Structure 1
Amino acid sequence: KNSTTQEIKKHYYKLAKRYHPDKNNGISDESFKLLSEAYSTLSNPKKRYLYDMKLLFKENLGEDFINHFSDIELEILHDYYLRLKESTEFKFLKLLYDSLPKNFKEKVKRKFKQHKLDKKDTLLNLKDIKYIYANSIDNDYILNLNRSLKDVYLNVNKEIILVTKNYAYHVFITSSDYSLEFKISNHVLTIHIQTVLPEHYTLNGQDIYYNHRINLYEYYFVDTFPIVLPNEIQINLKNSLEFNNSVKIPYLGLKDGCKRGDLYIYKNLDLMIQNKHQYESVIKEIFT
């Protein structure tokens, strides 16, 4: 893929001497013809460009997509691209873009949910990205992708496109807390998809545990407590639980195939009191 025209020519002459029908009785004319056609394509810059473009489209978008274009149409696109690249307007726009402040460029990339991996990157929010460009990593790399508990709860699927030097991978995120590995040149990109838990939430398999903290006033004078679930639906919990006891609400946990786990709600009294004397003072104020 990365051979120069001179290197292709050199390899062709070696193969031509080895596989020419006049020197090898076992080699068919058809095989040598294919070799000659390959050399004719790869040694011609325009033909090679079309070949590489077809190969790229076929690998990433499928053969059906590239079949919509004839060679003549691809040549027209190529010629137009070359003319556009050399035009004054294109050079001016490129110069204008290069002069933009870095923070503005980052805003543009975020708008289109594009992200180029940098050595400082270790953590990204999955909802903020669509494309990840990893065509310039020069070492093994670990990237953590955060998936919100709401997306996990609602079973929201996400597609990201990982762009490397030679390939574009379409990655479909359908679950959480697992890892993917991609071989890029001589390096490995490891992506961890992990669930980010809001405060007071923990998970145990498909079961969700919510630790609802209340103060002393709420404990004695509030009848119900509003609790917002991961899907942003609010439920009202009656103030009838003893300290550290829990209530189980079936089928409000995470989804696993056709089943859902359960939701467990714990009520904990948070006195927010620093010492025993302060505790005694609060009790005295309530009951006297």
Structure 2
Amino acid sequence: MDLGLVGKNALVFGAGGGLGGAIASALAREGAVVHLADKDFPAADRNAEAIGQAGGKARALAWDMADLAGIDRHVCAIETHFGPVDVLVNNTGGPPPTPAFGQSPEVWSEYFQMMVLSVIAITDRVLPRMREARWGRIITSTSSGVVAPIANLGMSNALRLSLVGWSKTLAREVGKDGVTANIVLPGRIATQRITFLDEQKAKRENRDAADVARESTASIPLGRYGDPKEYGDTVAFLASERASYITGSVIRVDGGLIPSI
């Protein structure tokens, strides 16, 4: 199936990590020119190099999403040398595991800027050109915790949920301009983040991390953690011409983990 992404300009955040890297690779396989943005430039550069070796077009950017003052500079550089951004994938890192109670206002503010304000500000910067072209994709990766809050991820549950309301509202505002806005929820996808969370839970409960992982996979109807490639392929489809009638949606990629309808 031709997804209609050849030559499209894609900007992917958190692209040095497992999910972001898989998303960038999927878009590049479909012919998009992919800009891999991450605070960890060496990690983004490794993923960009792997994409290039596979025949794709990719470049890494050292970009700290929490730095709101740098947004215009980075986007201007992309627009000047490559043209406007057609596909924006908002994918932020998560806060450390915490209960909802007892976190200081300063910590809440820090992660609100990194995980919410940054997403809104970057989207606002690229949207005018999308609306002018009457084509664009805004895809925001959050967490299954926005549907079924995850224990000891209080800050993540709360902050990511705010992006769901924002994206749904945005979809209604820009749909008539040919721009779609969707949320994608990863379940237990086999990345370093999931390994870290399993290890943290094992420490809290004085258990072996392998036991925690086995217990976790047993709760997933498909009986395994997801492959990052499966997540990336889902995002690539939502970014495509074929997904032009999907907007304002929340797409679960969770192996059936989330118990609610």
**TM-score scaled by structure 1?**
0.26
Could you say which structure has the greater relative contact order, defined with CA pairs below 8 angstroms and 6 or more residues apart? 2
The normalised TM-score by structure 2 is 0.28
Higher helix share: 2
Rg larger for: 1
